[in-house]
Structure 1
Amino acid sequence: MDLFGGTINSLEKGLFYATMKNKTIAQNIANVDTPNYKTKEVSFKDVLNDAKQATIPAYRTDARHFDFKINIGSSGVYSNENFRSRANGNAVNMDAEQAKLAENTIYYNALIDRVSSKFSTLNNVVKGGR
């Protein structure tokens, strides 16, 4: 049984995706002058598939014990190998990366706002509306 209805868990997965995407964009920006560097992207579909968890059966002495859960799959990050934009082989378009970073920052902040709102609501319930 999920105590909070699954919303917080979904928001957590969204934050994981946004964080992974932010790290990937930052890596692309950091390598803007590296010869033969190919931009990396995060596949939402792959991250979503990775979020599905496998259950490992465990020896349980009580029916209330939980099974172990592990993440399966790949990281969801892939490289654009066939794209070249400059003579040195570097494929980083700084304007595009900055636009992606701005978009991802807005997405991340919206998720943080929702998580904060959820916790505020739970705090209000725990305190009895005071």
Structure 2
Amino acid sequence: MNIFTGSFKEIEQALNYSTLKQKTISNNIANADTPNYKAKEVSFKRAFEEAQAGGLSAYRTNERHLVFKSENSSPAVMSRNVSFNQNGNSVDIDKEMSDLATNQIYYNALVDRMSGKFNTLTSVIKGGR
């Protein structure tokens, strides 16, 4: 019996995504005044679409299974190709700070959900006491 099924793995992957996004946003903020620095962004959706366009397929054990399910899709860090400043820098500090706050709320919600899962397991182990 595997008690750490689906949802734990999904929450862990979401936490990894949020951590990568936090690092990327922090790098952008740190390089806000660096000439010719191109801001980076984390895009799971874009990486997933590129993988699908490349003809990614999955092994199916039954014809009734869904056609596509990939465990290897992961977020990708990509550069933005726009320039906001005269020195060639593409960091918009207001956007980065907004993204930082949004990502922090997302991360805190994931941690709260994971904590709830572990509290449920603790309650079950203790017999509901």
- TM bracket (short chain): 0.7 to 0.9
Runs (5+) with no aligned partner, structure 1: 55-70
1:31 alignment partner in structure 2: 31
Query: How high is the TM-score relative to the length of structure 1?
Result: 0.76
2:44 alignment partner in structure 1: 44
Q: Which amino acid aligns with 1:111?
A: L
Structure 1 SS opposite 2:89: coil
State the identity %: 53
Partner Cα separation in structure 2 for residue 2 and residue 109 of structure 1 = 26
2:111 alignment partner in structure 1: 112
Pair 1:113–1:49, CA change in 2 (3 A) = farther
Runs (5+) with no aligned partner, structure 2: 52-57, 59-70
Q: Which amino acid aligns with 1:124?
A: S
Pair 1:49–1:12, CA change in 2 (3 A) = farther
Superposed displacement of residue 4, structure 1: 3.1
Partner Cα separation in structure 2 for residue 49 and residue 8 of structure 1 = 27
Partner Cα separation in structure 1 for residue 125 and residue 72 of structure 2 = 35
Superposed displacement of residue 119, structure 1: 0.3
Query: How high is the TM-score relative to the length of structure 2?
Result: 0.76
Matches within 5 A, 1:1-130: 2-45=2-45, 46=47, 76-81=76-81, 83-130=82-129
Deviating above 3 A after TM superposition, structure 1's stretches of 4 or more consecutive aligned residues are 47-50, 71-75
List per-residue Cα deviations over 1:71-115 (Å, max 9, x = no partner).
Answer: 85676100012x011110011010000000000000000000000
Pair 1:21–1:49, CA change in 2 (3 A) = farther
Question: Of Structure 1 and Structure 2, which has the larger fraction of its residues in strand?
Answer: 1
Partner Cα separation in structure 2 for residue 115 and residue 101 of structure 1 = 21
RMSD: 2.5
1:68 alignment partner in structure 2: none
Quick check: 2:44–2:74 contact (8 Å CA) kept in 1?
no
**Alignment length (residue pairs):** 110
Structure 2 SS opposite 1:42: strand
With 38-47 and 110-119 compared, the bigger mean Cα shift is at 38-47
Partner Cα separation in structure 1 for residue 123 and residue 50 of structure 2 = 34
Quick check: 2:44–2:75 contact (8 Å CA) kept in 1?
no
